[in-house]
Amino acid sequence: MTPVDAATRTPLTEQEPLPTGKTMGSSRCELSRVIWRSNENMFGSGKGTLVLELVDDVAWASAARHSDGHAVTVSVEDMTFFAPVWAGDIVTAYAQVEGTGRTSMEIGVHVSARRCHGPSEPEPVAEAHLVFVAVDDDGAPRPVRPVHPETDAEYARHRAVAIRRAHRRALASALAEVALPTPR
């Protein structure tokens, strides 16, 4: 899709209004994988890119569930690793939509590892926040339903979305003042 094609798309204001919103819990998804020896990096721990791929996959599933269709990754807002993963670990990522815009969804992902050797309780290993946009069959953005928190923890995550959004806007504004050169 080129910028020229954008003019032929139906503007968002002319599309059908969406029904009422959905709960955060209705978008919840989880995805697991085993870390194999072939997934180790040169230091013996699991490659971080494997965890990042798992995070993106489960975040997409959550976005698709919430938006009732396809969605694309716009950004990985942050990715924090708390602990390494090792061969033999079962790594599980849990995702849910924590906030919505008109066409965008902010997804929170929590990653834990059930260690091959050691305690049977899962250990938190990473956390990430991603932004997805719902798209139609032509790749044009389409509206999404609002998301509604139900528990105290969900309300806290929903408020954190507003803080991250304000931070992104402030950062974009500050970087615009610097007038960074365009990459080649």
CATH of the domain at 132: 3.10.129.10
Q: Domain count of the chain?
A: 1
What integer best gives the mean pLDDT of the chain? 89
Q: What is the mean pLDDT of residues 81-95?
A: 96
101 within domain boundaries: yes
Q: How confident is the model at residue 142 (pLDDT cuts 50, 70, 90)?
A: very high
102 within domain boundaries: yes
Structure tokens at 73: 């990754």
How do 147-148 and 22-23 pair as beta strands? parallel
pTM of the model: 0.84
Tell me the pLDDT tens digit for each residue of 47-59. 999 999 999 999 9
Helix, strand, or coil (residue 118): coil
Query: Residue 73's domain spans which residues?
Result: 18-178
46 within domain boundaries: yes
Q: What is the pLDDT of residue 74?
A: 96
Which among 22, 11, 32, 27 is positioned nearest to 114, based on CA atoms?
32
Which among 103, 158, 163, 159 is positioned nearest to 131, based on CA atoms?
103
Q: How confident is the model at residue 167 (pLDDT cuts 50, 70, 90)?
A: very high
